[in-house]
Amino acid sequence: MKFFVDTADVKEIRELNDLGLLDGVTTNPSLIAKSGRSILEVTKEICDIVSGPVSAEVTAIDYDGMMKEAAVLSKIADNICIKVPLTLDGLRACKAITSDGRKVNVTLCFSATQALLAAKAGATFISPFIGRIDDMGVNGMELIAEIRTIYDNYDYKTEILAASIRTVNHVKEAALIGADVATVPPATLKALVKHPLTDKGLEAFLADWAKTGQKIV
């Protein structure tokens, strides 16, 4: 499974990238707004940090507007992935952009049929929103499983990018089902390494080592 971080916080991105765990970044207008910076400026800085795909979202809702914004965003860096909404105009834009050899992340996916259309439109990534589906009292992981089955049935190359992830368990379940990518907040990505027995075991090892009075260097 690939790990993308869902943030526009350059400091967090640089820290996670230095760990060697980061495969890409997803941003959106809300995350850019939190940064308080220009979308072009902050996106360029992110692209300079990571080598993998950086999703930059269009804000237009009509096809012509999306294409104009996509042209601007694409010029930021070679690793830009244009993010479009799962609407008819968004799917049309997806088809045009991917036909031009660029990556597209189709976002705001809440059904398997929407995901099927995105794959038909040539999407590089489809972003089903797990947490928001959970908020409706439905198991968001069922959507990931449905999309995985459909894509495998027809050998679609679109990668399932599990989004709106809120917990470590979300990551585990998405990986078990076969999601290709998980995009997670920085805190959740860091939490994946934590386990109380790891901490307890390390504490015991260090205590025993201290009793030997030895040093390795």
Which DSSP helix (H) or strand (E) runs through 161? strand 159-162
DSSP 8-state secondary structure symbol assigned to residue 195: -
Q: How far apart are CA 8 and CA 187, in angstroms?
A: 13
User: What is the per-residue pLDDT for 34?
Assistant: 84
Over residues 21-48, mean pLDDT: 91
- CB contact at 8 A, 104 and 81: yes
User: What is the per-residue pLDDT for 143?
Assistant: 98
User: What is the per-residue pLDDT for 36?
Assistant: 83
- CB contact at 8 A, 183 and 4: yes
Q: 3-class SS at 171?
A: helix
Active site residues: 83
Q: How far apart are CA 52 and CA 185, in angstroms?
A: 17
User: What is the per-residue pLDDT for 31?
Assistant: 86
pLDDT (tens digit, 9 = 90+) per residue, 92-151? 999 999 999 999 999 999 999 999 999 999 999 999 999 999 999 999 999 999 999 999
Alpha helices, H only, 50-87: 63-74
Evaluate the CA torsion angle 184, 153, 81, 20 in order and state its sign. Answer: positive
What tokens were used for 137?
């009292």
Quick one: CATH architecture of 2-212? Answer: Alpha-Beta Barrel (3.20)
**Extents of the domains making up the chain:** 2-212
Q: 155: number of CA atoms within 13 Å, CB side?
A: 0
User: What is the per-residue pLDDT for 30?
Assistant: 86
User: What is the per-residue pLDDT for 33?
Assistant: 87
How do strand 103-109 and strand 54-57 relate by DSSP bridges? unpaired
Residue type for position 40: L
pLDDT (tens digit, 9 = 90+) per residue, 60-86? 999 999 999 999 999 999 999 999 999
User: What is the per-residue pLDDT for 87?
Assistant: 98
Lowest mean pLDDT among 32-46, 101-115, 171-185: 32-46
Average pLDDT, the chain: 96
β partners of residue 54: 25, 80
β partners of residue 80: 54
